[in-house]
Amino acid sequence: MTNLSRLVFAIAISPIIFAGIVRADDPGLFRARVGLGYDFVSQEYFTSDTTQTPSPDQMLEATLLRKDYLDDKKGLVYLTFDPQRNGQYILEAGWEQTPDVYRGLGWGHVSVGGQDSRLDADVNLEIKERYRGETEVGEDVSVIKARTGYRRRLSQSLETRIRILAERVDFDSAGSLVYDYARFAGEVGLSVLSRDFNSALFSIGIEKRNVPDSNWLDYLSVRAGLGYFGSLSQVFVSADLTIENKDFSAPEDRDDYILITLLANLRIPAGEAFYLKPDLSLEYFDFEIDNFINDDYLLARGGLLFGWDLEHLSASLGPRIELLSIETSLEGDDDYSEMLAQAGADLMYSDKAFILLENQLGKRNYRHKTEYYSNFIFDRMSLIGTLKVFRSLSFDLLFSAEWEWHEIDSDDSRLYLLSAGLNYSF
């Protein structure tokens, strides 16, 4: 994974947030939530002007870089209106503010119907603006998104559903990678249900995006899916196959592709408290026009875990593999293989404790030796947990870390992500 990829990954999924939140859980019409938070994203890696393993003298030329991409304190307040006190109709307004930026948010939800037919609708609003300092391109933005879903039971074994999505994003300033756009999507599906709660799902959907300032980024996407969820002879099965065709408005079919994804998971009993859990995932991109950016590739992941269940604890251990194959005419492509061992443990103890722990230790080998990549050993850890400290006082934790030790020492990197909160409800 390149340094740029790590940065995008970190900013997208894991700001480090420390927040103490006070909730007003009065069963009345209104609920309030206020809090203080701290958002932080940082990256550490080595850089050097040599692509070979540095000697002791050359190590003086290698530098440990640390860059903080997000470092904000913030306050927040939310007010929720729930007249039925059951989540059927909800209106929520929120305000979040840092020393330089504020965000105004709104959410509305309506749910009507019962088991035979049901209509759900949501509307989300967001306004984000910088009120102090110099505004960067794309920083001030407004977003409105609406979703509607309807499902109806046609018989004991058939159920149909319809989903519609509309979204509009407007920036106060535009740049080479920042454009206003509007997006519309719809999907219809049919579920076939059995008496033992097994289900097969067929779906087809369409999505259209319009980008006024860059028509080449307009696209039309058609997607079809087939899924199964249930059990076969005491073996739990979950499988999903999706095919997507995306057609951009750029000339000469540039960026157009077909994407095929397959996800399959099994859980096989192996005794009173033991089980085997094989899984497989495939992702294949087939671009209409191959170039130095868009190359066809196949990504495959698979594993076989051996696990056991106790009263409140479930643990698993086993090997996994990941393979990437890229079809390119360039010398020294990005093909690689990963072999790793995965261990995990889940603890669920009523409402007192909920902990998910996973660790992966392995090695990535690149097929070709290039100046841009070096083989490395890695250790990836993740921890999610909630503990009730005392009565209405609870502690939440999200931790993720990744260490990479490369054959070229200057490629070594470290990534730490953390989110923690102490919550009190009254």
Residue 390 has pLDDT above 50, yes or no: yes
Residue at 169 is within a domain:
no
Residue at 160 is within a domain:
no
CA angle 123, 227, 241 (to 5 degrees): 95
Q: Which helix (H) or strand (E) holds 395?
A: strand 393-406
| Percent of the chain whose predicted confidence (pLDDT) is above 70 | 81
The stretch 76-97 carries a mean pLDDT of 87
Residue 109 has pLDDT above 50, yes or no: yes
Long-range contacts of 78-81, Cβ-Cβ distance < 8 Å, separation of 24 or more: 78/32, 78/33, 78/34, 79/30, 79/31, 79/32, 79/33, 80/30, 80/31, 80/32, 80/33, 81/29, 81/30
Residue 10 has pLDDT above 50, yes or no: no
Residue 187 tokens, joined: 């999907």
The stretch 342-350 carries a mean pLDDT of 92
Residue 324 has pLDDT above 50, yes or no: yes
The stretch 410-419 carries a mean pLDDT of 80
pLDDT in tens, 178-228: 889 999 999 999 999 987 789 999 999 999 999 988 888 899 999 999 999
Q: How far is it, in rounded angstroms, from Cα 284 to Cα 382?
A: 27
Contact 308, 330 (CB under 8 A): no
- Other CB atoms closer than 10 Å to residue 372's CB: what's the count? 10
Residue at 94 is within a domain:
yes
Range of the domain at 126: 3-103+120-137+174-179+193-425
pTM: 0.78
pLDDT in tens, 216-267: 889 999 999 999 999 888 899 999 999 999 999 888 778 899 999 999 999 9
Q: How far is it, in rounded angstroms, from Cα 74 to Cα 93?
A: 17
Residue 13 has pLDDT above 70, yes or no: no
At residue 217, what are phi and psi to the nearest 5 degrees?
-90, -5
Amino acid at 200: A
CA atoms within 13 A on the CB side of 402: 19
Residue at 231 is within a domain:
yes
Q: Assign 6 to helix, strand or coil.
A: helix
Contact 297, 322 (CB under 8 A): no
pLDDT at 20: 35
Residue 325 tokens, joined: 């194959």
Residue at 114 is within a domain:
no
Q: What share of the chain is helix, strand, coil (3-state, %, to 5)?
A: 5, 70, 25
Residue at 208 is within a domain:
yes
Mean pLDDT, the chain, whole residue set: 82
Residue 332 has pLDDT above 90, yes or no: no
Residue 137 tokens, joined: 């391109």
Name the domain count of the chain: 1
Residue at 70 is within a domain:
yes
Which is more confidently placed, 18 or 293? 293
Residue 426 has pLDDT above 50, yes or no: no
SS3 per residue for 40-108: EEEEEEEECCCCCCCCCCHHHHCEEEEEEEEEEEEEEEEEEECCCCCCCEEEEEEEEECCCEEEEEEEE
Residue at 143 is within a domain:
no
Contact 171, 178 (CB under 8 A): yes
